[in-house]
Structure 1
């Protein structure tokens, strides 16, 4: 989107952006904000919004990114170093602080780059600075070089320390010599003019063995370098000079290394600036409740409860749109009624949106594919408005006509003002018609009735007005879409006591066609007032109906829950009775001898079949009830939800969703099942368990698996029970029962048996490569 600097100035965008500037944490954020420009195209704008949403989501889940309060821009430092070839210790410390923060943020971004793709753009701009950080590690927190910065520096500083110790020893011998007690002002070693000195009284200066270096402030004493310390002082001066040269050499090398990565360092600085600005933007969104607008492919805008940012809490929100059903919106109304503010608010909201920033509006606001914002905004009441001002407006409007196209937003304030009313109105109509032919998205304000009439009678042109309270003679600043504004000059004059004959002459002076427009406007406003009253009554009735509907639905839901609970309890009780009956029959069979067992089994077989059919019917009813409950609760499974597979006791976690199927992780098993069979689980999913390690020594005479696939329940279950008892006694850790998939009858019977055996630790279906639903793996207690 193109925004000329004059339009930026007219809309006071710098003041608007100060809302974000006051919330950044460093100059990096301020610099990023200062260079902020609208997105070049819709794709780039989508990327900016996605980055902001990703940042907010990251902060909500993990807290803010790492930050350092004293981080600052190093761009000017590097530019200066290009000329001098040297960065001082504190300057290099600023570089290190920036690079250290960049490394921390890179680490944070790396940990989530797969989950949050928008951060990948920032991550790629932060290179590896390990070598530079190693070079900069020779600086302490004050920017001074450590002794270990180089072998020469270490040697020089050790020599300095040795010389200083010798100087102190010689000074101590002077202080302890009775000969000098009366000569010394104080027994203190001082440092003057790069020399170690002692303070000698003025009257003894000629007798003390040494050289005068400096005088005290009082003039009563002098600082003298004792002869015994002269050679040591000279040596120390040379060492200090060597130290400065070595430090300069080290700093020059580090500076050269830093400058070799200048481009990468500045890229990292920009990323930090972006992170700082994102922090400020989210802070504004949280404090001021600004929202990111939705984006549309077509050129349009639709703002809900939009406020001009510079009005603060005193502004009146406005809902306004243009570009969807009509391309031009003409706003009318009294002076100081808010027309110009409306124009500016739309311009500000559009530019903020195209900068990828939130806007002071409610959710659901739209900004479309607009490639430029053009504006001609002035004050027709200004005493400076004369021919030259009108000429300036004309030049601006001519430029707009030449540049604007079907994807441009054009803001025109007070069409036809500043010249003869009739000519101005004619020019305003012609200008709007030109914008209509070019299909520009145009928002204009006016006082002229011919322009109002044009807006009322022309296709793809809509009208709106700023509301005026006739009782208080004051504007309300509310925007009324679809209603042209009435001129209130004569009405206000009448309320203030203008003589009746003067008002009558004024009304006669109005052209007939203009009077008819006023009549139309008056009628429309009366109709609008009536409709507003009707709408309030309808809304009140709708709210009462919604309350009654909600109460009825609550009662209906309560009755339904009670019904389902009673049915569920009854079916669970019936299932328990059937399970108990089957268990009792098995117990009785186990008590019989082999000769009688076969005859009894044949006699019981038809009854068992009926019991199984009844259990299957009860299970299907329970499954159907669970599915209906899921739909009534509006349960829409998502990745990470804990669910139960209907018809089974299997509880797991959804790993992926693929069309109408879901991949569920239950323990160590992954299975793909239809989404329609999933219900919300009331208990957490079982922890994943690795299958126990196989025994090295296989017990003799007992296999590690039993095949009962194809058998009836009566044939299979005695074998299964006997086999499990033998396998447990033989020392197996786990075994397999191969029952096949089928209708799941054998599987359910095996699971029921396992649930009642005290020596069974757990049981599960086979995983991938283990037989899946056709195999049950049983683990024994140790």
Structure 2
């Protein structure tokens, strides 16, 4: 077939170079129409040109003709092409029958490979984050030593957490942005990771309980479309929990009782906690409501916890302390910033109905209340924190616009198309790369690309990337040309690059 095709191209090239046909031709490029090689002839000369009309351009000014000199060779080529397709069908049929006869073994192999791929992926993830195995139990005991949320990285403050045995319910209090919600998410995520067979980012001695259900109500869940308020969204989630909670359930509740009148909210929260506990569930809840803290202090099976707070720097420490409750530290912060202690005492009396001047004085010494250095210290801390945040922003911007050094063969995520592709051509001086997506090439700026999988992780060491980047026809021609020279054999260029919308 290649020899016949080469003969056809030779004859057509002779015609294109011939002075006899120069005036008749629209162009000097061999083209393909309806599976046959043709030359473009100007319409006014098509009757003078010896050959058969195969196709016409959309404008009608060009007629694509098959010269009579190659008709016999074209017919021979078509016959060989048909025979090739018959042979391909026969081979594929034979291979299909062979595969079908070993279908059971192949399916077992696929399942085995899938299993080991999952195992190796878990191992690689574990090694990348210095994780370790933990002891599992079915008695509801959860002990986390120096646990970290996998997405927060090594700089996050580690979590020490224990629950189970005599106490099945933990109520966490503390200031806003103090880490209460992150604690809930960390406990839930580490539990699910352990049940999925993953190692955990924790220290030795950690232990995780196995649960049949892990249910969480985190976030306000407001919905304008469904006309849901914050409280309504919480209630909808809690209804689901109450319908299926049992001794095998882990319940995570964020800001329980929030989003409605405080008096009704605390009554609702305590009733929900009592009902979930009565059903045997293990509970971790966060709240700002004082009555819920008092309830947890005295109720059997409940224990308080708080997120620690530094009264000197007025900053949360993001450490969980179990066995005591915390508060919002609003009065302490106001006193440290120099507010009149009499005003604070009056505010405390309004809030709690009792005079607390002596207690306030014990929290902050009288001389401290008038010491301007405390105010200056807070402002200095605030200034340093703002400078640190600005420096971090600068680093993030530099990192954002830094050259990504993406390589040919890397799998990348394209933010504007919301899909992945393979780098076909590396970055040019404008920062544009050519990316192959579903067989089509797109020119995309590196700002819209994120490395998804490095080519070293995607392909074996000696893998031929042409299998991914080049068409099957071009690979076949390149292989033929590598064996011997064939006059006129051309590898078609794949320069059709699209700019995505």
TM-score past 0.5 threshold: yes
Change (3 A) 1:263 1:495: farther
Task: State the superposition RMSD in angstroms.
Answer: 4.5
Secondary structure of the 2:237 match is: helix
Structure 2 partner of 1:442: 283
Structure 2 partner of 1:353: 194
Instruction: From 125, 146, 157, give the equivalent of 1:284.
Output: 125
Change (3 A) 1:204 1:291: same
Q: Deviations over 1:198-232 (max 9, x none)?
A: 9999999988876677899xx999976345x5434
Instruction: From 470, 479, 485, give the equivalent of 2:320.
Output: 479
CA distance in 1 between partners of 2:124 and 2:199 (Å): 11
Change (3 A) 1:341 1:513: farther
Q: Deviations over 1:166-198 (max 9, x none)?
A: 8799x69x97xxxx9863769x99675555779
Change (3 A) 1:382 1:304: farther
Secondary structure of the 1:410 match is: strand
Instruction: From 491, 514, 517, give the equivalent of 2:332.
Output: 491
Change (3 A) 1:460 1:213: closer
Asked if the contact 1:183/1:200 (under 8 Å) is kept, the reply is no
Structure 2 partner of 1:240: 81
CA distance in 2 between partners of 1:311 and 1:352 (Å): 15
Structure 2 partner of 1:451: 292
Report matched runs for 1:27-426 at 5 Å.
183=20, 193=33, 225-227=67-69, 229-255=70-96, 258=99, 265=106, 267-379=108-220, 388-426=229-267
Q: Deviations over 1:719-771 (max 9, x none)?
A: xxxxxxxxxxxxxxxxxxxxxxxxxxxxxxxxxxxxxxxxxxxxxxxxxxxxx
Change (3 A) 1:254 1:513: farther
Secondary structure of the 2:215 match is: strand
Q: Deviations over 1:607-653 (max 9, x none)?
A: xxxxxxxxxxxxxxxxxxxxxxxxxxxxxxxxxxxxxxxxxxxxxxx
Asked if the contact 2:138/2:211 (under 8 Å) is kept, the reply is no
Change (3 A) 1:327 1:404: same
Report matched runs for 1:655-734 at 5 Å.
none
Query: As a proportion of its length, which structure holds more helix?
Result: 1
Structure 1: any 5+ residue segments left out of the alignment?
1-156, 523-782
Please state how far the C-alpha of 1:304 moved relative to its aligned partner. 0.6
Structure 2 partner of 1:583: none
Structure 1 partner of 2:308: 467
Asked if the contact 2:349/2:355 (under 8 Å) is kept, the reply is no
Change (3 A) 1:212 1:456: closer
CA distance in 2 between partners of 1:380 and 1:221 (Å): 66
Please state how far the C-alpha of 1:421 moved relative to its aligned partner. 2.1
CA distance in 2 between partners of 1:246 and 1:471 (Å): 84
Q: Deviations over 1:19-58 (max 9, x none)?
A: xxxxxxxxxxxxxxxxxxxxxxxxxxxxxxxxxxxxxxxx
CA distance in 1 between partners of 2:334 and 2:112 (Å): 61
Q: Deviations over 1:577-623 (max 9, x none)?
A: xxxxxxxxxxxxxxxxxxxxxxxxxxxxxxxxxxxxxxxxxxxxxxx
CA distance in 2 between partners of 1:469 and 1:192 (Å): 78
Structure 2: any 5+ residue segments left out of the alignment?
364-501
**Number of residue pairs the alignment of both structures matches:** 351
Asked if the contact 2:222/2:233 (under 8 Å) is kept, the reply is no
Larger Rg: 1
CA distance in 1 between partners of 2:210 and 2:183 (Å): 21
Secondary structure of the 1:272 match is: helix
CA distance in 2 between partners of 1:408 and 1:342 (Å): 18
Secondary structure of the 1:374 match is: strand
Change (3 A) 1:343 1:429: same
Secondary structure of the 2:201 match is: coil
Asked if the contact 1:380/1:418 (under 8 Å) is kept, the reply is no
Change (3 A) 1:513 1:190: same
CA distance in 2 between partners of 1:211 and 1:381 (Å): 71
Structure 2 partner of 1:548: none
CA distance in 2 between partners of 1:417 and 1:357 (Å): 35
Structure 1 partner of 2:494: none
Change (3 A) 1:263 1:332: farther
CA distance in 1 between partners of 2:116 and 2:355 (Å): 58
CA distance in 2 between partners of 1:477 and 1:394 (Å): 28
Report matched runs for 1:473-622 at 5 Å.
473-511=314-352
Asked if the contact 2:195/2:210 (under 8 Å) is kept, the reply is no
Asked if the contact 1:305/1:361 (under 8 Å) is kept, the reply is yes
Secondary structure of the 1:405 match is: coil
TM-score scaled to structure 1, two decimals?
A: 0.39
Greater mean deviation of Cα atoms: 504-513 or 258-267: 258-267
4+ runs of 1 displaced by more than 4 Å? 163-169, 188-216, 219-224, 255-267, 379-384, 512-516
TM-score scaled to structure 2, two decimals?
A: 0.58
Please state how far the C-alpha of 1:277 moved relative to its aligned partner. 2.9
